[in-house]
Structures are given as structure tokens and as C-alpha cells.
Amino acid sequence: VLWRFDGKKPDTLGPNTRLYKWIPQNDILGHPKTKAFITHGGTNGIYEAIYHGIPVVGIPMFADQPDNIARMKTKGAAIRMDFNTMSSADLLNALKTVINDPS
């Protein structure tokens, strides 16, 4: 797991997770081992995910993000999560779905 994160390292961070202050998102999405993209659904990230054929778990916050994720969901390329109500189990299930269920 690659996570763009700037702050104190969480105490519960798993051994398979690497934190970076900056990640070249387009390069990561183009890597052959990339299986899923957790995103707020901004236009640039959505275009990059489409270009590279990476399924999305979208957690939209504001502006164009809810509409972008809705369009991706309609095309079968995303699962939408609600930031205010989702649990860690919900996020895990969404990731498993986009990785394992072909659309």
C-alpha cells in the first residue's frame, strides 16, 4: 500500500504500507502491479485512472467529485463510499470488490 501522507506516522500502520509526502500519481497508476485507486474523485485523478484502466474506490468530498464518482460508478469502474458513514470494513470490502470483480 502506497499512501500520500504528511504527518506523524500512525501507530497502527501495517508493515505493508509505505508513507510518502509526495507520489507521482500518474506513474503509480501506470505501474503493472497497481490494482486499485482510492481517491476523492478529482478530475485529474479520474482521467489518469481511466487512462490506465485502474478501478476506483471513490470517497468524494465536494465540487465535481461526487459527479465524477457517480459517472465512474455508472460505467462499472468505481465504488462510491460515504466519508461520514463508512467503516474500515466497508473500505476493505470495496477494495476487494474492485480488485476481484471484473466490470
pLDDT (tens digit per residue) in 22-42: 999 999 999 999 999 999 999
The mean pLDDT of 43-70, rounded to a whole number, is: 97
pLDDT category at 101 given cuts 50, 70, 90 is confident
Homologous superfamily of 2-100 in CATH? Glycogen Phosphorylase B; (3.40.50.2000)
Q: What mean pLDDT is reported for the chain?
A: 95
Work out the number of other CB atoms within 10 angstroms of the CB of residue 56. 24
What confidence score (pLDDT) does residue 71 get? 97
pLDDT above 90: percentage of residues in the chain:
96
What confidence score (pLDDT) does residue 102 get? 74
* CB neighbour list of residue 77: distance below 8 Å, 6 or more residues apart: 49, 50, 55, 56, 103
What confidence score (pLDDT) does residue 103 get? 63
Instruction: Assign 3-class secondary structure to 72-90.
Output: HHHCCCEEECCCCCCCHHH
The residue ranges of every structural domain in the chain are 2-100
The mean pLDDT of 38-52, rounded to a whole number, is: 97
Decide if pLDDT at 3 tops 70. yes
